[in-house]
A and B are shown apart, each in its own frame.
Chain A
Amino acid sequence: MGCQTCTQQQEGGSILSSFPDKASELEQHIDSLEITHNISRNRGHLIHCLHKAQELFGYLPEDVQLLIAKKLRLNLSDVYGVISFYSFFTTNPPGKYKINICLGTACFVKGADKILKEFEKRLGIKDGETTEDLKFSLGGLRCVGACSLAPVVIVNGKVYAKVDPGMVEGIIKDCDKEQK
């Protein structure tokens, strides 16, 4: 047990001290919001702040959560409860290549489940996981609305259309090539 300020100080090697620029950008961003005495109204900024933080750090580790909680005068439980509810937020560092497979209905009827399985097989990880070398993370995605291109795979924003399981190896190789 202990108060939030102490727990924060104890964690020396935190992501906030590793990236002071990003940390101060986040703080400034939150400060620029309209924070009033009304805590329930302040809380309305929470999801927005989490988006901002994840954009900066790639994920939402505990000390980032604590920072946001402190700034918005919330409990950590308020912040964590929200993070774990929404699938967009993650508390684990993501892989360098985020392979997302659209699992919307149109993609599903065109075989997206097979593509996901093929990726799982090739990368040796399951849906929602990241490879140990932090190179690939694999995730199913809700409908991205590109149903005409179904099935769709998106790797770091790059769209692969009309994918079949045979193309999976090529997509992984594309990432390797890019890295070189």
Chain B
Amino acid sequence: MEKQITFTIDGKTIKASPKDTILTAAEKNGIVIPNLCYNKEVSCTAACRLCIVKIEGRPGFHPSCAMKAADGMKVKAFTDEIEKQRRIILDLLLSAHNDDCINCKKDGDCELQDLAFKYNLGRDSRDFPPIWEQLEETSDSTSQVLDYDATKCIQCQRCIKACQEKQGKGILTFANRGIKTTVTTGYPQWNASLCDGCGECQQACPVGALTMKPVYSPNNRVRQKDIEKTTTTTCPYCGVGCQIDVSTINNRIVKVDGHNDIPNHGSTCVKGRFGLDFVNHPERLTKPLIRKDGKFEEAEWNEALKYTADRLVKIKTEYGSNSVCGLSSARCTNEDNYLFQKFMRSIVGTNNVDHCARL
């Protein structure tokens, strides 16, 4: 068994693995140290400085997301002094952030908003005047599926790192430096870049800077809190079988996120995330069609199954098993596909079976 280490945070004894940082160890023990740039799925950035703590015997403040926990460490995470620094840092962040929350798609689902609420940083309680309007940052909404609002961006790098480290694409980078820093693809416009729109970046975004275009509900703006139900299911596209969280309102899909589990650990591709609009599409087939006199006509399931079975039996007896071929769909589950090939081999009696997994 892995060796455990013991240290304290504000006097409370914490048990953790030697791989843990102070932040992760605290989290496992129910202590949430405020943070914004930390994302456990990508490398540590240590940029937001909200998670700073003090460590006995070491001068200065240290970002708990970057400091490995060590045996016997005495950490202070919530002293008045530290909380004061956090408050100032949040105040600063808010001054450079377009805080028109009413108009924001991420209202209610925004880590900065949560922290601002927690630290009582309403507009009247802040020390710093808003400067986000003076910054003239370049937003970009040319992507087919994503919107980048630079006025809301807090430069945490989570999107850039998600694109680079999780998707291995490296499409995103920072442009400029200092207070003028924004996120860019490097091309004059997002849609000229190699971005395929997987949306990993917007999933990583803690605020409303990178958001999905309302692909599923173009006429209705939807916020997280409007969502009625979220169903975890398997993506109907390729054979990987990604787990996805499908959010619905009134039985209609409004949003799809990657579910954080095997095999995809929270990621999806552009199709999984944005390609489920067929579900509620008016032209979607919901009943079987049978061609009668050269025209498709709606039929009942029983009728259709009977028709198909009869025809298959007839073809098999007249022309032999190998005159039949089965093409299955990658959009069915693995189990369905297994059943299908079993059916083709043992019932129909042919190896003529293939599958469209080359999506």
Which residues on A are within 8 Å of B, measured CB to CB? Answer: 1-4, 7, 62, 65, 75-81, 84-85
Contacts and interface: CB of A to CB of B under 8 A. Distances in A.
B187 A84 contact: no
A75 B192 contact: no
B193 A76 contact: yes
Interface in B139-191: 170-177, 184-188, 191
A76 B195 contact: no
Sorted from nearest, which 5 A-B pairs have the closest CB atoms?
A: A80-B186, A81-B173, A77-B186, A77-B173, A76-B186
Contact of B171 (A7, A75, A85): A75
Contact of B170 (A3, A4, A77): A77
A2 B193 CA distance: 7
B171 A77 contact: yes
Given A1-B194, A75-B194, A76-B193, A65 B174 contact: no
Contacts of B192: 1-2, 7
Given A62-B188, A65-B186, A77-B184, A84 B194 contact: no
Interface of B: 170-177, 184-188, 191-196
A61 to B, nearest CB: 11
Nearest to B177: A85
Given A7-B192, A85-B176, 16 more contacts: A1-B192, A1-B194, A1-B196, A3-B194, A4-B194, A65-B186, A75-B170, A75-B194, A76-B193, A77-B170, A77-B171, A77-B185, A78-B173, A80-B184, A84-B175, A84-B176
B142 to A, nearest CB: 11
Given A79-B186, A85-B177, A1 B171 contact: no
Which of A3, A7, A81 is packed against the most chain B CB atoms within 10 Å? A81
Contact of A81 (B186, B188, B195): B186
A110 to B, nearest CB: 26
Nearest to B169: A75
Contacts of B191: 1
Which of A3, A65, A78, A85 is packed against the most chain B CB atoms within 10 Å? A85
Contacts of A4: 194
Contacts of B196: 1
Most B CB contacts (10 A, CB to CB) among A3, A7, A77 go to: A77
Contacts of A75: 170-171, 173, 186, 194
Contacts of B177: 84-85
A48 B17 CA distance: 43
A7 B191 CA distance: 12
Contacts of B185: 76-77
Contacts of A3: 194
Contacts of A7: 192
A8 B230 CA distance: 43
Contacts of A80: 173, 175, 184, 186-187
B193 A78 contact: no
A40 to B, nearest CB: 12
Contacts of B175: 80-81, 84
Contacts of B187: 62, 76, 80
Contacts of A77: 170-173, 184-186, 193
Contacts of B186: 65, 75-81
A3 B194 CA distance: 6
Contacts of A62: 187-188
A30 B191 CA distance: 29
B84 to A, nearest CB: 32
A84 B170 CA distance: 17
User: Which residue, A2, A7, A84, has most C-beta atoms of chain B within 10 A?
Assistant: A84
A77 B201 CA distance: 15
Contacts of B170: 75, 77-78
A46 to B, nearest CB: 12
Contacts of A2: 192, 194
A75 B171 CA distance: 7
Nearest to B178: A85
Contacts of A1: 191-196
A77 B186 CA distance: 4
Contacts of B173: 75, 77-78, 80-81
